[in-house]
Amino acid sequence: MSGEPVIKVRNLVKRYGELVAVNAVSFEVAKGEIFGLLGPNGAGKTTTISILSCITPPTSGSAMVSGIDVVTDSLTARSKIGVVPQEIALYPTLSARDNLMFWGRMYGLPDRTLTRRVDELLSIVQLSDRASSRIDTFSGGMKRRINIAAGLLHRPDVLFLDEPTVGIDPQTRRNILDLIKELNAEGLTILYTTHYLEEAEFLCDRVGIMDEGKMIAVGTRDELTESIGATGVIAVRADGLNDALIDWLAALPAVSKVARSEDGLTLNVVRGADLLPTVVEKLAGSGVDIHSLDVTVPNLESVFLHLTGRRLDEEHDEKS
């Protein structure tokens, strides 16, 4: 990270009565970064974004966007922020163009520049040909794209996207993720919330993992997986294994544990990637007949599991 961070959150707390929706959360997002907030339902992701977008006042703590305090100078802060809400927030009976024109006027853009900007954004989200159609005639994915365009009209410093891919087909989802990458490539800083860990891994430079209102880990993917001392698993199905070979494998410094299975063995490893060629060479050289070899790479799921003892995808299945 270099320069002043675009988003700076310090000890943010939000209580709803007894419930602590956001509990002493701190993080920073650098200019040009895609930062992911990953967490299960009710983790406090939307609440954090709501505070940052000046909809919900925090109970305590501070949040700055582009150096502006979102609590004390919310009107200025709001002009720096683009938000793509979790729900489609558009007027269904109006056309895509009319919706975008309206939202642009809310940011004080003069009609002349606005018309050009709307055209530009319609072509970026590839909906120029449907500009005059009513939103309620759009498919879910098309609505999502207009929903994103509406957050970009005023060329914000930072774009907040709150689970923009919930409930849409894989093709559209892919389109939207690509769109976000493109926007980021042009220099836009992005704060992205999701409970899909593949999205966080695919998209984000850094990830903050939230659970029950707390930020339980922040870092790049590699930093996070390393921080838990983790680990991959290499599962080998093979004939002709013997005890000497197993002892040899167990003695390797990168291997933490070796276990025989019915038709082969599994190795728990710290840093699996560079270990694999060594293992394959040794086994093949000893006349072992390898049927299959399965490498499980450590990922954010393993991190979440390690930190909470729960799996991330088990939880959001309940919702959908």
Ligand X SMILES: Nc1ncnc2c1ncn2[C@@H]1O[C@H](COP(=O)(O)OP(=O)(O)OP(=O)(O)O)[C@@H](O)[C@H]1O
Which residues of this protein are in contact with another protein, per CB under 8 A?
53-56, 75-76, 78-79, 81, 83, 85, 87-94, 98, 102-103, 105-108, 150
**Residue 54 interaction partner, one of Mg ion, another protein, ligand X, none, beta carbon < 5-8 Å per kind:** another protein
**Residue 308 interaction partner, one of ligand X, Mg ion, another protein, none, beta carbon < 5-8 Å per kind:** none
Q: Which of 7, 25, 34, 46 forms a contact with Mg ion (CB under 5 A)?
A: 46
> CB-wise, 86 or 296, nearer to another protein?
86
Q: Six-digit token pair at 211?
A: 């659970």
Binding site for ligand X (CB under 6 A): 16, 19, 21, 39, 41-47, 195
Residue type for 183, please? L
Phi, psi (5° rounding) for residue 75? -60, -45
Is residue 286 within 8 A of residue 245, CB to CB? The reply is yes
CB of 41 to another protein, least distance (A): 18
> CB-wise, 37 or 100, nearer to ligand X?
37
For residue 302, CA distances in Å to 86, 140, 253 come to: 26, 32, 21
Provide DSSP, 210-225. EETTEEEEEE-HHHHH
Q: CA-CA distance, 244 to 4, in Å (whole number)?
A: 57
For residue 24, CA distances in Å to 47, 62, 81, 214, 223 come to: 13, 10, 22, 7, 22
Burial of 232 (0-12, 13-18, 19+ CB in 10 A): buried
> CB-wise, 153 or 209, nearer to Mg ion?
209
Is residue 200 within 8 A of residue 217, CB to CB? The reply is no
CB of 312 to ligand X, least distance (A): 11
- Interface with Mg ion, residue 47, by CB under 5 A: no
> CB-wise, 23 or 46, nearer to Mg ion?
46
**Residue 290 interaction partner, one of Mg ion, another protein, ligand X, none, beta carbon < 5-8 Å per kind:** none
Q: Nearest residue by C-beta to Mg ion?
A: 46
**Residue 167 interaction partner, one of ligand X, another protein, Mg ion, none, beta carbon < 5-8 Å per kind:** none
Nearest one of 191, 196, 195 to 180, comparing CA atoms:
191
Q: CA-CA distance, 7 to 30, in Å (whole number)?
A: 7
- Interface with Mg ion, residue 299, by CB under 5 A: no
> CB-wise, 87 or 262, nearer to ligand X?
87
- Interface with Mg ion, residue 184, by CB under 5 A: no
Residue numbers at the binding site for Mg ion (CB under 5 A)? 46
